[in-house]
Chain A
Amino acid sequence: MKKSLICAALLIFISCLAAARSNAQQIYLFSQSSCEQDGVDCASSIGLYGGTIYGYSATEVDYWTSDDYSAYVDGQLYDQNGILLDNEWDEEDFIAEVNTLTSANPGTIYTERGYHDVIARYYYEDIGRGPEGCSPCDGCNTDCYYFYDNWYWSDPFGFSFMNGGYFGSWENVYGFGPPAEIENDETISLGQTSQSVFVGWRITSISPSRGPVGTTVPVIIFGSGFSQFGSNTVSASGYGVTATEVNFISSGVLSANFQITSDASAGNHSVRVTINGFPSNSLNFFVQVPTGLSVVGITVISSSPVHSCWVCLPGNDTGIQIATQYQVMDQHGDPILSSAMAPEETLKNLVIGGVARPDPAPGFTNLGGSCYPTDTTTDANGRFLDAPFGWCAPYSTSSLSVDQAIRMSVGSSHYTVRMQSFTGTSSGPGHGTISNGSDVSASR
Chain B
Amino acid sequence: MIKKQMNKLLFVKFSLLAAMMLLTGLSARLSAQTPEDFKQRYGNPQSGVYRVREAITAKVKFDHNNQAQEIVVVPLPAGDSPSAMSTATATEVLNEVMPVSRRGKLLKTGAFAASCVSVQAEEYEKVTIDRTIRCNSQGGGVYRLNIRHK
What residues of chain A have their CB less than 8 Å away from a CB belonging to chain B?
309-311, 316, 319, 321, 345, 347, 350, 352-353, 355, 357-358, 360-361, 365-372, 374, 376, 386-395, 398, 400, 402, 404
Given A393-B108, A393-B111, A398-B110: A350 and B116 interface contact (C-beta under 8 Å): no
Give 16 A-B contacts (CB < 8 Å), ordered by A residue. A309-B118, A311-B113, A311-B120, A321-B113, A352-B110, A355-B123, A357-B119, A357-B146, A358-B130, A360-B114, A369-B136, A369-B138, A370-B135, A386-B115, A393-B108, A393-B110
Closest to A390 in B: B113
Closest to A311 in B: B111
Contact indicator B119/A389 (Cβ below 8 Å)? no
B128 at the interface (CB under 8 A from A): yes
Closest to A372 in B: B115
Interface of A, helix, strand, loop or mixed by DSSP: strand
Report the bound CA distance from A327 to B120 in whole Å: 30
Q: Which of A316, A370, A376, A398 has the most CB of B within 10 A?
A: A370
Contact indicator A358/B132 (Cβ below 8 Å)? yes
Pick the residue among B116, B119, B123, B135 that contacts A358 (CB under 8 A).
B119
Contact indicator A369/B114 (Cβ below 8 Å)? no
Pick the residue among B112, B116, B123, B136 that contacts A400 (CB under 8 A).
B112
Contact indicator B118/A392 (Cβ below 8 Å)? no
The number of chain B residues touching the other chain, given as a range, is: 20 to 34
Given A369-B135, A370-B135: A345 and B114 interface contact (C-beta under 8 Å): yes
Contact indicator A367/B116 (Cβ below 8 Å)? yes
| List of B residues within 8 angstroms of A387 by Cβ | 115
Pick the residue among A353, A376, A404 that contacts B114 (CB under 8 A).
A404
Q: Which of B115, B119, B130, B138 has the most CB of A within 10 A?
A: B115
Given A365-B138, A368-B137, A389-B113: A353 and B108 interface contact (C-beta under 8 Å): yes
Given A360-B132, A369-B137: A310 and B113 interface contact (C-beta under 8 Å): yes
Given A368-B116, A369-B135: A358 and B146 interface contact (C-beta under 8 Å): yes
Closest to B120 in A: A311
Contact indicator A392/B110 (Cβ below 8 Å)? yes
Report the bound CA distance from A350 to B146 in whole Å: 13
Report the bound CA distance from A309 to B135 in whole Å: 7
> Known pairs A370-B135, A376-B137. 7 more at Cβ < 8 A?
A353-B110, A355-B123, A358-B72, A368-B115, A369-B135, A369-B136, A400-B112
Q: Which 6 A-B pairs have the closest CB atoms?
A: A369-B137, A311-B111, A393-B110, A367-B115, A391-B112, A358-B146
Contact indicator A347/B111 (Cβ below 8 Å)? no
Closest to B123 in A: A355
Report the bound CA distance from A358 to B70 in whole Å: 12
Contact indicator A355/B121 (Cβ below 8 Å)? yes
B35 at the interface (CB under 8 A from A): no
Q: Which of B108, B114, B120, B144 has the most CB of A within 10 A?
A: B114
Closest to B139 in A: A369
Contact indicator A374/B111 (Cβ below 8 Å)? no
| List of A residues within 8 angstroms of B111 by Cβ | 311, 316, 391-393
Contact indicator A316/B112 (Cβ below 8 Å)? no
Closest to B132 in A: A360
Contact indicator A360/B118 (Cβ below 8 Å)? yes
| List of B residues within 8 angstroms of A361 by Cβ | 114, 117
Contact indicator B112/A360 (Cβ below 8 Å)? yes
Contact indicator A393/B137 (Cβ below 8 Å)? no
In the complex, what's the smallest C-beta–C-beta distance from A295 to chain B, in angstroms? 16
| List of B residues within 8 angstroms of A353 by Cβ | 108, 110
| List of B residues within 8 angstroms of A366 by Cβ | 115-116, 138
| List of B residues within 8 angstroms of A358 by Cβ | 72, 119, 130, 132, 144, 146
B109 at the interface (CB under 8 A from A): yes
| List of B residues within 8 angstroms of A311 by Cβ | 111-113, 118, 120
Closest to A399 in B: B110
Contact indicator B128/A369 (Cβ below 8 Å)? no
B82 at the interface (CB under 8 A from A): yes
| List of A residues within 8 angstroms of B117 by Cβ | 347, 360-361, 365
Report the bound CA distance from A114 to B136 in whole Å: 83
In the complex, what's the smallest C-beta–C-beta distance from B98 to chain A, in angstroms? 15
Report the bound CA distance from A355 to B72 in whole Å: 17
In the complex, what's the smallest C-beta–C-beta distance from B102 to chain A, in angstroms? 19
Report the bound CA distance from A361 to B117 in whole Å: 7
Given A392-B111, A404-B114: A357 and B135 interface contact (C-beta under 8 Å): no
In the complex, what's the smallest C-beta–C-beta distance from A406 to chain B, in angstroms? 10
B 59-86 contacts with A by CB, 8 A: 72, 82
Contact indicator A365/B113 (Cβ below 8 Å)? no
In the complex, what's the smallest C-beta–C-beta distance from B88 to chain A, in angstroms? 16
Given A358-B146, A370-B135: A391 and B110 interface contact (C-beta under 8 Å): yes
Report the bound CA distance from A311 to B116 in whole Å: 12
